[in-house]
Amino acid sequence: MSETLDPMATDVDQQELAQQLLAQAKEQGIELVGPDGLLNRLTKNVLETALEAEMDDHLGYEKHDVAGRGSGNSRNGTRTKTVLTEIGPVEIDVPRDTGSTFEPQIIKKRQRRLTGVDEIVLSLSAKGLTTGEIAAHFDDVYGARVSKDTISRITEKVIAEMVEWQNRPLDRVYPVVFIDAIHVKIRDGQVTNRPVYVAIGVSTGGERDILGLWAGDGGEGAKFWLSVLTEIKNRGVEDVCITVCDGLKGLPEAINTVWERAVVQTCIVHLIRNTFRFAARQYRDEVARDLRPVYTAPSEAAAKERFVEFSAKWGRQYPAITRLWENAWSEFVPFLDYDVEIRRVICSTNAIESLNARYRRAIRARGHFPTEQAALKCLYLATRALDPAGKGRARWAMRWKPALNAFAITFEGRIN
């Protein structure tokens, strides 16, 4: 009969141990944190115990064991080493052997940081902090000096990971793909605005998949989008049912060149945002209220009637708004033919807007970037840090179920 540990008992034992340690530290006047604090001492003891266990395995016998006499290799004292941990710098004694063949794994030779520290650096960098700000953060919070060069080397480690991510195989079909571009300032001789192209696919399982990041040259253009979409297709995406994009000239043709059966849908959020560019601030709420019946109409005919009413009220005051919607009409109306669940997915602002908000926050903190690769690295780190607990992914998957059924009926034979 096998014995199992009672999780509740384990939790209680750990709690009692923690209380005992805190009581003992309080009696001795030891702080909880700091260079000589309780957490620092516990970390030191745990690391040194683990290193001694590794040395036992390496030598084949425990410390002070008579079996080690005449074995040809034995302990040879320790050397002091300071490692940076999540609670700050900790000084430890690393055991040595006479044969100099001991290769510790918990803290390897020449390793000065625990892996958790690297994750802290990457997390701070993903939030837009510069190398100088991260160095100052470690100095203020942990009392540890970490050079800007060290921080740069830590973040450079993700370049290979980013390249692998950018070239990974993709799903065969995506019911919806959102495409957009954000602009970053890159110092290449002089500071210029450069587009970074972003594509997000919604998989048949309801998961949002960021397909990649591509740095463009000059302004956003349909020609570059054609090369991006072709690359996505070459990575395994054979079919896309609906592609949601802004009203960039030539973009619908580029999309249908790659996926000829894809429905091109103008992003409602972009269309409304562009509408507000022509409306005075005091009228924006009223314009938005009058536009809502247009993009929530049950059919194209009904949307056309509502748009005629909108034009009658606002066309003379803001002819540019009327012209904007007339020019985008053919790419605006496709989703009106679909089930309400499909409309909800297409019109959702969360898919791309929440991602762009994260990207803009990271970009705004940096101001500008020395190279194109530095900009892509910053955006990849922001991508890497998205939804760490998976709660957003779970919510999306739950909301996706009704839409998946609608897609399976509307695009029969293409989803499964």
Nearest partner of 37 among 130, 142, 131, judged by Cα: 142
Max CA distance (Å), the chain: 101
Determine the Cα–Cα distance for residues 112 and 132; give it in Å rounded to an integer. 20
Q: What is the pLDDT of residue 3?
A: 43
pLDDT value at 4 more than 50: no
Q: What is the mean pLDDT of the chain?
A: 80
177-191, 319-333, 338-352, 359-373: least confident range: 338-352
pLDDT value at 1 more than 50: no
Termini Cα distance of the chain: 47
Q: What is the pLDDT of residue 340?
A: 78
Consecutive H or E run containing 308? helix 300-314
Q: What is the pLDDT of residue 209?
A: 87
Neighbours of 143 (CB within 10 A): 12
- Dihedral sign for Cα atoms in the order 165, 148, 144, 110: positive
Higher pLDDT, 58 or 351: 58
1-5, 128-132, 150-154, 230-234: least confident range: 1-5
Neighbours of 264 (CB within 10 A): 19
Give the start-to-end residue ranges of the domains of the chain: 19-108, 113-156, 170-410
- Of the pLDDT bands very low, low, confident and very high (cuts 50, 70, 90), residue 403 is confident
Neighbours of 210 (CB within 10 A): 18
**172-216 confidence digits (pLDDT tens):** 999 989 998 888 888 877 888 888 999 999 888 878 889 999 998
Amino acid at 30: I
Higher pLDDT, 393 or 53: 53
Consecutive H or E run containing 371? none
- What is the reported pTM? 0.68
pLDDT value at 370 more than 80: yes
Higher pLDDT, 233 or 36: 233
Amino acid at 255: I
40, two tokens = 């620092």
State the burial class of residue 385 (Cβ atoms within 10 Å of its Cβ: 0-12, 13-18, 19+).
middle
